[in-house]
Every structure is written in C-alpha cells, then in structure tokens.
Amino acid sequence: MIIVLKKSATDKEIEHITEKIKSLGLAVHLSKGQERTLIGAIGDESLLSGTSLEALPGVDKVMPILKPYKMVSREFKSEPTVIEVGGSSIGSSQVQVIAGPCSVETEKQMLECARLVKAGGASFLRGGAFKPRTSPYAFQGLGEEGLKFLAHAREETGLPVVTELMDPRDTELICEYADIIQIGTRNMQNFRLLTEVGKVRKPVLLKRGLSATIKEFLMSAEYIASQGNTDIILCERGIRTFETSTRNTLDLTAVPVLKQETHLPVFIDPSHAAGRWDYVAPLSKASVAIGADGLIIEVHNDPENALCDGAQSLKPKCFDVLITELKPIAEAIGRGI
Amino acid sequence: MIIVLKKSATDKEIEHITEKIKSLGLAVHLSKGQERTLIGAIGDESLLSGTSLEALPGVDKVMPILKPYKMVSREFKSEPTVIEVGGSSIGSSQVQVIAGPCSVETEKQMLECARLVKAGGASFLRGGAFKPRTSPYAFQGLGEEGLKFLAHAREETGLPVVTELMDPRDTELICEYADIIQIGTRNMQNFRLLTEVGKVRKPVLLKRGLSATIKEFLMSAEYIASQGNTDIILCERGIRTFETSTRNTLDLTAVPVLKQETHLPVFIDPSHAAGRWDYVAPLSKASVAIGADGLIIEVHNDPENALCDGAQSLKPKCFDVLITELKPIAEAIGRGI
Amino acid sequence: MIIVLKKSATDKEIEHITEKIKSLGLAVHLSKGQERTLIGAIGDESLLSGTSLEALPGVDKVMPILKPYKMVSREFKSEPTVIEVGGSSIGSSQVQVIAGPCSVETEKQMLECARLVKAGGASFLRGGAFKPRTSPYAFQGLGEEGLKFLAHAREETGLPVVTELMDPRDTELICEYADIIQIGTRNMQNFRLLTEVGKVRKPVLLKRGLSATIKEFLMSAEYIASQGNTDIILCERGIRTFETSTRNTLDLTAVPVLKQETHLPVFIDPSHAAGRWDYVAPLSKASVAIGADGLIIEVHNDPENALCDGAQSLKPKCFDVLITELKPIAEAIGRGI
Amino acid sequence: MIIVLKKSATDKEIEHITEKIKSLGLAVHLSKGQERTLIGAIGDESLLSGTSLEALPGVDKVMPILKPYKMVSREFKSEPTVIEVGGSSIGSSQVQVIAGPCSVETEKQMLECARLVKAGGASFLRGGAFKPRTSPYAFQGLGEEGLKFLAHAREETGLPVVTELMDPRDTELICEYADIIQIGTRNMQNFRLLTEVGKVRKPVLLKRGLSATIKEFLMSAEYIASQGNTDIILCERGIRTFETSTRNTLDLTAVPVLKQETHLPVFIDPSHAAGRWDYVAPLSKASVAIGADGLIIEVHNDPENALCDGAQSLKPKCFDVLITELKPIAEAIGRGI
C-alpha cells in the first residue's frame, strides 16, 4: 500500500502515520520526492483493513497495490477451475449452454421447454421459481411448486437444473431441487446470501451486479469461496450505463479481464443484457468468440404469453439455429459446443 | 400504454395485438399515422404486466404512460407523510439529523459518540451492528452485542436509534432494538427483505441503490408500502458514475424530483456520497438548501481508529460547527434544524 | 409525437396545446383515458423542432415516436452502403482491417509500420498527424510533415491512408493526403467539423463519442449526410462507464443495434476500448463474430517507445497472429477477412 | 510515479525498466515487497509523457502520483482567481448571476429578456448566436446578426455579454462582441478551440463535458491557461449518468472538489442539468449553499415559443422570485448575490 502525503505534511504527521502502520505489523518504506513524500506499507495489506489511514492528518490518498481477493485469484491458483455437473464439464474446452424460460409457469410449459432446449443442444435447464421482480404487483414465481416442475423436467430430460435463490431461508429448499444455485444480479452484494451458499456443496452461478466493478464481482465470489465453496461460475449479464437502446450494456471485455484475474469459469447471459430476443444471436456469437465458457439463454415455447421477459426470449426454433451457428465459431477458436 | 408498431406491421398483426389487449380487459385506441401506426391500450396498465407485448410480431416498442408506483405516489396522497419517532417529526418543517459512527465498535465508543452527537444537535443516533462489507475479511459488525450497546446509548441520551437490517432472519431481533430500520443501498432491491420490513410496525429508512433510477427507488418503497408499512424515509446517498474524485456522485436533484413524485420524506447521506469528511459540510449545506427533510451523517470520536469508514467520518467538533452553520440556511428557506 | 398531459390539465390548456400543434401543420388526435389524457401530434415531427411543447401549461411529458435521423436510417435506404476505397470494399462481405500506429512519429517508423501491417493483412493504414491529447504538454502530432510521411508510406505499400481531422481549418490539407478522414471521439459532436466533412468528397470514419447514445451517434452521421456526403463509416470505440479495469467499455451490442437502424458500415476499435494490447485479440474476435464490417487496430513496431498509446499497441508479430486467428471466425459467419 | 511490477517480473525486466526511467531524467527508487516489487520514478512525471511504461515487459500497472495540471492548480497558486468584467467581480464573495435565453432569436426578444433579467438581478446576459444542436435540422442560431442583437442589448442595459464560440474560425468575430467567451460542453475537449481561446484576452467560461472527469475538466482549463489566458471560469452543468428523470445529473460535489484543486471560480448551470424549469430554483439554492461563485440560468420571456430549450427556461417572474430567495441563502454562508 502506498500512502501519498499532502505537500503540507509535517514531520510529526509523518511519524504518526509511520508508527500507526508499524503498530499494525507492516514494515514502512519512506520515499521523499521533490514534490511529494510517499510511505510504502510493506506486508499483508489486509492487516490495514481495520484502520482508516485516509483519516490520518497529512494523508492525501491511499493507493492499494495488492488485490483484495485471494482464493479466487489466478495468482492463488493458476490452472482453470473445472466444475463437473451431471456429466458436463463447466470451464473445460466445451462451451456449455444453459437454456430455458425466465420463470417456471406450469408443469406443461417446463416440460415442453426442457425437451425443446435439450433437442436444440442445451446441457442445462434454467427456470426461476422465486423471481426478483421490480414491481410488487408482478408475478413473483411459483415457489416450491415451480421447483417440483423443474425436478420433473430434469427427470424427463436428464438436464441438470439451474434456479435462483433469493432468500437465505430458502437455501435448504433450493438445494433439494437445484443442481446449480443461481445468485441474481440484485443479490450480488447480498453478503448474507453469499455466505449461505458458501456453506453448501452445490455449484453457484453468480451474476454480476448491475453496477459492480470487476473487483467487486470477484470480492463477492471471494465471499462464497471463503466459506469453503469454490465451485463458482461467474456470469456477466450486462451493466448499467447511459445507453438506452438495449436493456443493459453487455461488457464482453469482462471475459478476458476475468480470465486473467481468476481461475473461475465465466459465462455470459446475452438475454438479460440485450432485453430483446433479436440481439441474442449476435451477442452469443461474440461471447463464444471472446472465450466465454458458457451461455445462459432464455428460451420460451410461447414468448408472447410468457409471464416474464417474453421480449428477450428466443423461440425454440431460433435457439436451434443459433446453436448450429455457434458450432463453427467454437471450432474456430479450438473449442466445442 | 402506447404500442408503436413497425412500419412493416400487417393488418393481421395489428388485429392480433388488438385482440390480445382487449382479452386482458383494456380498451384499444388505434391511430394510423403517415409513418407509423400506434395502438393505445386504455385502462389499468398493470393488467398487462403478465404479458409480453414487445414479443408480439409487428410491435416496435411499448411506451408505458402511467407510473408503476401507486401507494407512494403524490397522485395517491398529496399531503406529505410525517413520521413521528421518539418525539421528533420526520417530514415536517424541522430538518432532522441522524448522526453517529458507521459501526458499533465498543460500548464506550457508542456512549461517547451518542453524547457528543446529541450535544452537537442530532435527534437520532446511527450505528451499524450488522455491516455489509465488500470484503469477507473486513469487520462484519458486533451483531446482537452491538444492538445492546445502541440500546444502552439510547437509554443514556434519549436519542432514538437507526440501525441496518441485512437478513430477513434478523428482522425480529432488529425490531427489538431499533427505532428506525435501515435498508442499505446494496439491499434496495432485496425484495424479500423489503417485503419483511413491509410487515413490521417500525419506520424504514430506505437507501437508494448505487445504480437505481428514481423509478426503481420508488418501486422498492412501493414493495414496503404494499405490505402495509407506509412509514418510509427515502435516502439518497450517491450514485455510481464515471467520476472517481469522490466515492459516489451525490444526486441532489433527486430531492426535488422525489418531492414531486412522492409524499414520503427524503433524507441525504453526504458521508457515503463523498467518502471524505471534508466534503460533508458543503454537501450538507446544499442538502438543506435544496429541501431535504433530514441528513444522516457519520460522526466518530476517533476517526483514525474507526473500524469502518473513518475517512468519511466527522470529528464531533466539526459536527458541532456544521450544525451551527446549517441553522441559518434552514431558516433562509423557512425551516428549522 | 405523443403529448402526455398532467392529471390536472384543464380544458383550456388542452385547447391551447391543440391549437399550437395545429398551427404548426400537424393533425391532432385526442385520447382521454381514465387517468390521463394524451394528445397525438400526427405528421412530420420535425415541424415541432422550433417549439417547446414541454413548456406548455398542462403538459407532463412529450414522447417522440419517429426517429430523428433520416438519411442514415434503414427505413430511408434498406440495402447496406458499400464504400469503395483504393480497391477495397467497406461494408461488403469482406471484413476490412485498418492498422498502424497511434501517431506518425518519423518517416522511418511510418514506413516500417506500413510494411509490417500490410504483410500482416491490413488493407488500410492509420496514423495521426494531428493528435487530440488530454494534456497540453503531451506530443501533439507532427502536422503536415506527418501527413507527408503517411503519403510516402502509401506510395510504398499501396495502402490507403486514414488520418484524423481536428480543426475545420485543416480540412483542405487533410483531404490532400487522406483517403479516409477520421473524426475522433471527442469531436463526434463538433458540429462545425461534421458540416465541413459533409461537404467533401472523401469517406469519413466517424468515431462514437465517449458518452454518446446510439441515437446521438446517428444524428452526428446525419449531420454529415445532410451536407451531401453519405460515405460514412461508423466506429464504436468504447464508452465511458464506472468500470475501471479497462480504459473504456466496448459496447459490442452497438453492432447489431446499428445494423438494424442504419445502412452504414460499422467498425470496431478494440485498441482504444481496451487501452491494453493483451485484450485487443479477444475483442477483435468478438467484433468479427458479432458482425462488424471492419477493425481499426493500433500496431507499432516499437510499442515501448511509442509517443502515444504504446500500452494498447500490438507488436507486428501479434498482429500477424491475430489476423490468422480471425480468418476462421470470419468464415464461420460467412465472411472473409 | 509508481510502477507496480508483475509477480513474474524478472531481474532483467526490472533492469530494463529502471534504465528506461533513468534515461528520461528521473531517479529510481526500488522497493521489493514480499508479494510485489515497486519502482518509484522520482522527479518530473511529465518527462515520462512521451513514453509508454505500461508497454514494458514486466509492468503490471503504472500509478501517477502527481497531478497532471499545473497552472490551474491550487498548489501553483493558492489564492482564488478573481476576474473583473464590466464592473463585476467573478470569484469574489459576491455570487454572480448570468441570465438570458438559450438562443438569440430576434432583436426584440433579446432586448426584452435583457431588461427583464437585469431587473431581476442578473449581472451578465447570456444568449447563443451559434448553437450546437444535436440535429442538423434544428435551428442553428442567427450567427453574426445574433451577436449584433446581443451587443445592442448590452448597450441598452449595461449587462456584459456571454456567448458561445463553436469554431476556431469565428474567434475574432466572437471576441468583437462578447465580454465572456463560452466554450460549450461538447467542445470541452475540442483542443484546437481551447488553444485558440487561450490566446485571446477575454475571460472564458468553460463548461464541463458531459462525461468529463474533474481531472479532464482541469486539463482542458490547463490547455487554455498554458497559452497565456488564465481568466477561466469553470462551469458544472450536469453529467451523463443512467438516471433519466432529469436531462443530466448535476454533480454539485464538483464545487468543493474544484475549490480544493484549483484557484479558478466555479459556476453552476442548473438549467441544462435539470432540463426542466421547475427544478432550476431548488438546484440554484443548493448551488449557492455549496459555495458556487455564480449561476448561469436560462430565462426566456416566452418559453413556449422559444426556438430552443423552452422547457428549461424560467419565466422572468420566476427568475425574480428565485433571486429574492437566493439572497438569504447567500447571506447565510457569508456572501452576497
């Protein structure tokens, strides 16, 4: 950690800062420049987390050098994490596709969607039983009944199931039914929920928060990992910007950035990013080309009657075409799909 | 709701859309322009929430006309909501000040802070016992012990207590100790938590999410109100933008915008917005001048040893000076503080 | 245009608004709903540009229906624009690559870069002679001397030259040397400069502004087109967001959005978006996969001694590898490179 | 400047980086930590501007320590800059108000507006003769004729005139008529225009770019100052964020931040920030309370027929009331208006 001092910092202030850092168990490295004096705090920066160096008189700014995440970092573990779920390897050379409706609506709909996406080439089934909706008056999901429909669809098709957990009190229930637990974008910094899924033995699909930096995203993954669960799939799903022509702005650059910073697999959700079904295909192609380990795509058998997100759901036929078109792109970069 | 059709929309598509809207119980108003055909869906727009009009063939875009929030809107209730807590009126002509440390650290610290902020002019005491921290390795709060210290400080000073709820499982516990329940910025769209505090009989201080629009902010308030609890205090605390010279960008314009849209009281948190104590005073002055109903300010008796947010905490002396300086500004706009 | 009235709008106000619209030559369509009255202004919306309907008493908001751009829109011209420059077709099935250093530094450097990028597979040479630099103390470009070096490199290699125009007073000079005139991101709304290049007979590469919406981007293209020059290449180069791990956030979704809205070719500049050379390859792959018509890539023979943007410049060897890797991706979507 | 090395940096790479820095005339300070090696480059950081340290092998990131602006910084000149124009002191304890219509429309309108804003308490008259409009089909201003109307209004009222310069070719013309030259938000990084107004002997009102950081804003001021003209007024006018309930998000915190960083006076433009006249009064009050040195407010005698920005223009009566309401706030902070 580098502490940049104010031009006006006095010797007494410098001494006070120096003593403070030493008292916390770090070494100090003083560097007096012509214009500014810098203090380097050498050692474990986390020892400084319980103090507020910026509040010390004479301090202009504090610049951390080390990364705040550990277990999820590439420096901690250099080889990529591969997660095995129901016979499929996530994070391997095979690009995995999770598909299905935004929310579970009826048993018939789930079964039909499951069969169609399986036929189209998906390896996992998505569907929300608990739905985080902006409006209290909108459909909130079927709850446990929805989970049962998902389980039934899994039985019929063999597709492992991905579904969202919104409330720490539902953890056990979700674990009973889900193969992969999804933490939604609005809960990326619901630290209690992260701690909870850190304690279970199921892979977690963690969606990036709407306005989370890559660093914060990785810190949320670290919350889960620090509890013992390192089977984490990161999912970029669009960030909030000033642009309004799409629902969110898909930050595809997050893929190479995350690949450099972490060993965890990285997925893309083009459906929520775009908010419109007709942009899902081009975004999926770009996602595969840039090196994403998987896609999570909304597919509905009857989008115009979907209770949620119909506008961004692919019809099964479009999904089939898309998977066919993705194959040569995956091959072009030496992967399969 | 206005449905703008594509230029290429066929008569059959128009008929299909029209039938769909009618089947949901709304009237239809067709308007064929030279360039575009528009369909007006007249009636209760919420009847359309379970359908995806954008997914219908021929539809270009859907433009809602009515506001999605009801109970919290000015149209629903024109006079301002005034909330009485411990003898102080929130939302009245008196500007209220909540002050105290970011987190409860020790009994001694809480007592000292409470006495100092009371002497300085605060009417409410803040302090976090459960802390949402970006890092799993940072201090997470004292939990129930912290709540007890808060309660003790209240006994000694008479100041009502504001503290944060992070987990639906802690609702009862927090209600036992808190006079006002705070929902933090990262939980503004934790819909389960909102539903939970909607059911209790305590005022809620709802902080705006880091990247929440005013509309989303009010929809989160609507979640609480729809459960029966309408004692909601809205709190702007800075939004996330590209600017890095401050921790967040305080959106002060939110005050007049919210005052127009809702009857609920509006507070400002200058400490979290700025992230630096030396900007807290000017931001507080602007907040009072623009018409905020209250301020929530971090004050610590020993900022440099604060376990959290020391850099943005005022020393008690600065707090005293600030309150003194705010008085004439409040008077200038016909209010007290 | 839809004018949404306030709930409180009086009959007299409605009449006043109606008269106003009619006096401007549009027809009026009144629709009284239970909650709101709407007024549709039917006809050429641009007739309303000289008036301020929002300022009329009784008006709540004004919602435009038609797109503000005309000549550059897909509705105006459905087939894609193909621009022929020096034997290469921009906007065709062939993905075009513009490559070269950020700025022209010496004759030797330009010649070397030109030869190397040609060998690597570029069809166009880039290089700035006039450089918009954030600091007045940074290298501002060689001016006309730089243009001469560019011309010389063109002679030697046959590569057409792309270079930036910053000042309307240099238009003639730039036209003398450039094959394609670049308008930089900071000048996207320099309307005088747009008007100027609208009058010349050279293709224009228009970069999207750092915080320009797609709509504003197209309006800037419309400025150029409205003067008679429709040979416009749009270039997405990253937008400004809260994320700091890359220089900008590349908005790749802009490609399918623009392809739907306009007939103009769309390029991507991965170098400025990323700000780091090691992200240029993955971003380029995604750009080709998503359907961009071309790439503009910074390549420098000696990045560490580059006078500008060395960190984001590819070494010629990396460029060669990249082009080789892009070929199968282009083929996978039915294009060449 | 601190250069953080990669964990994998070799001794040879470290030596190469060290040599590079020394060759540019700076001293080197090496600090080997347990986890990372840092290199401090001590001396004039601007000597490094012509090189790309990030491009050197072994470098992870480069962190500048010193501020890139000099002449405009508080460290360079600690006392505030006061600019005298037509008998009024800008940057003094007197808060100055510039008022008038968005654009000059007719001689009669300008005269009437000028008289009304003078009566209301304005000290300066604004009005655009050259208008940067998003659409090429919108009113572009009257040009020189408009400047003449402004001059006439000045003669009649004695109010000095503020008007915008958009094109370096108009510099002389504008200087003939204007007392203060405005550089608009879209031209904040039109570096040629900045250089041009840096050479004239007229004060410049420099508006912050829509997505410019404070640092970039000050660098643009530095462009002007570096040419010799230090009579610069900085004007915050709203930045672009995700929020859509106002035209832009007014960053009022910019006032205390700028006051700390620079000696230049700071103005606020509440009209463009809000985009709606009814938010102008509360924003103006906050601006005065937070310490702005002045306001620039759009006032039109007939907003609904304004050719530009009618929705955000105050009627003269509202302007009168506003100035009356601002007086006690200015007094409350020890200033006049």
Neighbours of chain D (3+ CB pairs under 8 A): A, B, C
Q: Determine whether the interchain pair A132/B240 forms a contact, defined as Cβ–Cβ distance below 8 Å.
A: no
Distance from CA of B248 to the nearest CA of C (A): 10
- Which residues in chain D have their CB less than 8 angstroms from residue C304's CB? 20, 51-53, 55-56
The rounded distance, in Å, linking the Cα atoms of C110 and C104 is 6
Which two three-digit tokens encode residue A106?
Answer: 């009826």
pLDDT at D254 over 90: yes
* Amino acid in the structure at residue A322: L
Question: Which of A330, C137, A337, C248 is CA-nearest to residue D45?
Answer: C137
Which two three-digit tokens encode residue B152?
Answer: 């003790």
pLDDT at B153 over 80: yes
The runs of H, that is alpha helices, within B191-307 are 191-198, 214-226, 254-261, 270-274, 280-290
Q: Which residue of A has its CA nearest to B103?
A: A50
pLDDT per position as a tens digit, D47-90: 777 778 888 999 998 888 888 999 999 999 999 999 999 999 99
Q: Which of B243-252, B275-284, C159-168, D42-51 has the lowest mean pLDDT?
A: D42-51
Beta strands B59-63; B2-5: pairing state: antiparallel
Average pLDDT of chain A, as a whole number: 94
pLDDT at A280 over 90: yes
Distance from CA of A173 to the nearest CA of C (A): 36
Q: Which residue of B has its CA nearest to C2?
A: B2
Residue appearing with tokens 């979704």: C253
What's the pLDDT at A309? 83
Which positions in chain B have a beta carbon within 8 angstroms of at least one beta carbon in chain C?
Answer: 2, 4, 7, 29, 31, 33-36, 38, 40, 42-43, 63, 65-66, 75, 211, 240-242, 244
Q: Determine whether the interchain pair D192/C68 forms a contact, defined as Cβ–Cβ distance below 8 Å.
A: no
The rounded distance, in Å, linking the Cα atoms of D198 and D114 is 29
pLDDT band of A277, cuts 50, 70, 90: very high
Q: Determine whether the interchain pair C191/D68 forms a contact, defined as Cβ–Cβ distance below 8 Å.
A: no
Q: Is D52 exposed, middle or buried (0-12, 13-18, 19+ CB in 10 A)?
A: buried
Q: Determine whether the interchain pair B65/C38 forms a contact, defined as Cβ–Cβ distance below 8 Å.
A: yes
pLDDT band of B306, cuts 50, 70, 90: confident
What's the pLDDT at B35? 79
Question: Which of C303, C217, C227 is CA-nearest to residue C255?
Answer: C217
Q: Which of A103-107, A307-311, B312-316, B333-337 has the lowest mean pLDDT?
A: A307-311
What's the count of helices (H) and strands (E) in chain A, helices before strands?
10, 14
Q: Determine whether the interchain pair D306/C219 forms a contact, defined as Cβ–Cβ distance below 8 Å.
A: no
What distance, in Å, lies between the first and last C-alpha atoms of chain A?
44
What distance, in Å, lies between the first and last C-alpha atoms of chain C?
44
Q: Is D182 exposed, middle or buried (0-12, 13-18, 19+ CB in 10 A)?
A: buried
Which two three-digit tokens encode residue A277?
Answer: 């079904």
- Which residues in chain C have their CB less than 8 angstroms from residue D210's CB? 211
The rounded distance, in Å, linking the Cα atoms of D118 and D320 is 10
Which of B46, B55, B132 is nearest residue A306 as measured by Cβ atoms?
A: B55
What's the pLDDT at D155? 97
Whether A248 contacts A238, CB under 8 Å: yes
What one-character DSSP code corresponds to residue D84?
A: E
Q: Which residue of C has its CA nearest to B5?
A: C65
Interface test with A, best of B137, B170, B216 (most A CBs within 10 A): B137
Cβ of D93: how many Cβ atoms within 10 Å? 12
Which residues sit opposite C89 in a β-bridge? Answer: C84
Q: Determine whether the interchain pair A63/D29 forms a contact, defined as Cβ–Cβ distance below 8 Å.
A: no
pTM: 0.96
Distance from CA of C272 to the nearest CA of A (A): 12
Q: Is C15 exposed, middle or buried (0-12, 13-18, 19+ CB in 10 A)?
A: exposed
Average of per-residue pLDDT across D19-32: 89
Which positions in chain D have a beta carbon within 8 angstroms of at least one beta carbon in chain B?
Answer: 211, 213-215, 239, 241-246, 249-253, 255-257, 260, 273-274, 278-279, 282-283, 285-291, 325, 328-329, 331-333
Question: Which of B295, B292, B223, B283 is CA-nearest to residue B258?
Answer: B292
- Which residues in chain A have their CB less than 8 angstroms from residue B304's CB? 20, 51-53, 55-56
Q: Which residue of A has its CA nearest to C258?
A: A245
pLDDT per position as a tens digit, B215-242: 999 999 999 999 999 999 999 999 999 9
What's the pLDDT at B262? 98
Helix (H, G, I), strand (E, B) or coil at D153: helix
Q: Determine whether the interchain pair A257/C242 forms a contact, defined as Cβ–Cβ distance below 8 Å.
A: no
User: Could you give phi then psi for residue B10, rounded to 5 degrees?
Assistant: -90, 165
Q: Which residues contact A19 (CB under 8 A, 6 or more apart)?
A: none
Q: Determine whether the interchain pair C242/A286 forms a contact, defined as Cβ–Cβ distance below 8 Å.
A: no
- Which residues in chain B have their CB less than 8 angstroms from residue A167's CB? 168, 192
What's the pLDDT at A115? 97
Q: Determine whether the interchain pair A38/D65 forms a contact, defined as Cβ–Cβ distance below 8 Å.
A: yes
Q: Which residues contact A167 (CB under 8 A, 6 or more apart)?
A: A130, A193, B168, B192
Neighbours of chain B (3+ CB pairs under 8 A): A, C, D
Q: Who wins on pLDDT, D165 or C51? A: D165
- Which residues in chain B have their CB less than 8 angstroms from residue C66's CB? 35-36
Which of B4, B75, B241 is nearest residue C242 as measured by Cβ atoms?
A: B241
Q: Determine whether the interchain pair C290/A282 forms a contact, defined as Cβ–Cβ distance below 8 Å.
A: yes
Q: Which residue of D has its CA nearest to C195?
A: D136
The rounded distance, in Å, linking the Cα atoms of C220 and C188 is 7
Size of interface C-D (CB pairs under 8 A): 131
Distance from CA of B93 to the nearest CA of A (A): 32
Distance from CA of A212 to the nearest CA of C (A): 8
Which two three-digit tokens encode residue B326?
Answer: 């705010």
- Which residues in chain C have their CB less than 8 angstroms from residue B66's CB? 35-36
User: Could you give phi then psi for residue C117, rounded to 5 degrees?
Assistant: -70, -30
Our measurement of the distance from residue A106's CA atom to the centroid of its chain's CA atoms, rounded to an integer in Å, reads 28
What one-character DSSP code corresponds to residue B67?
A: -
pLDDT per position as a tens digit, A320-332: 999 999 999 999 9
Q: Determine whether the interchain pair A290/C288 forms a contact, defined as Cβ–Cβ distance below 8 Å.
A: no
Counting Cα atoms < 13 Å in the Cβ hemisphere of B220 gives 28
pLDDT per position as a tens digit, D168-184: 999 999 999 999 999 99
Q: Determine whether the interchain pair C305/D139 forms a contact, defined as Cβ–Cβ distance below 8 Å.
A: no
DSSP state letters, B174-215: HHHH-SEEEE-GGGTT-HHHHHHHHSSSS-EEEEPPTT--HH
Average of per-residue pLDDT across A1-6: 90
The rounded distance, in Å, linking the Cα atoms of A176 and A28 is 52
Q: Determine whether the interchain pair A136/B56 forms a contact, defined as Cβ–Cβ distance below 8 Å.
A: no
pLDDT per position as a tens digit, A12-54: 999 999 999 999 888 898 888 777 899 988 888 778 777 788 8
Which two three-digit tokens encode residue B20?
Answer: 């769909």
Q: What percent of chain B has pLDDT over 90?
A: 81
Q: Which residue of C has its CA nearest to B75?
A: C7
Size of interface A-B (CB pairs under 8 A): 132
Q: What percent of chain A has pLDDT over 90?
A: 82
What's the pLDDT at B212? 97
Average of per-residue pLDDT across B89-107: 97
Interface test with B, best of C3, C8, C31 (most B CBs within 10 A): C31
Q: Which residues contact C209 (CB under 8 A, 6 or more apart)?
A: C185, C186, C188, C189, C216, C217, C220
Low-confidence ranges of chain C (pLDDT < 70): none
Size of interface B-D (CB pairs under 8 A): 122
Whether B1 contacts B65, CB under 8 Å: yes
What's the pLDDT at D111? 97
Q: What percent of chain D has pLDDT over 70?
A: 100
The rounded distance, in Å, linking the Cα atoms of B327 and D263 is 28
Average of per-residue pLDDT across A139-150: 96
Distance from CA of B212 to the nearest CA of A (A): 9
The runs of H, that is alpha helices, within chain B are 11-23, 107-120, 144-157, 171-177, 191-198, 214-226, 254-261, 270-274, 280-290, 316-332
Which two three-digit tokens encode residue C67?
Answer: 């797109």
Distance from CA of B319 to the nearest CA of C (A): 31
Interface test with D, best of C44, C167, C271, C314 (most D CBs within 10 A): C167
- Which residues in chain D have their CB less than 8 angstroms from residue A209's CB? none
pLDDT band of A334, cuts 50, 70, 90: very high
What's the pLDDT at B144? 96
What's the count of helices (H) and strands (E) in chain D, helices before strands?
10, 14
Q: Determine whether the interchain pair D250/B253 forms a contact, defined as Cβ–Cβ distance below 8 Å.
A: yes
Size of interface A-D (CB pairs under 8 A): 47
Alpha-carbon distances, residue C292 vs A166, C162, C239, C252, C336 (angstroms): 38, 18, 17, 9, 12
What's the pLDDT at C310? 86
Q: Which residue of A has its CA nearest to D61?
A: A65
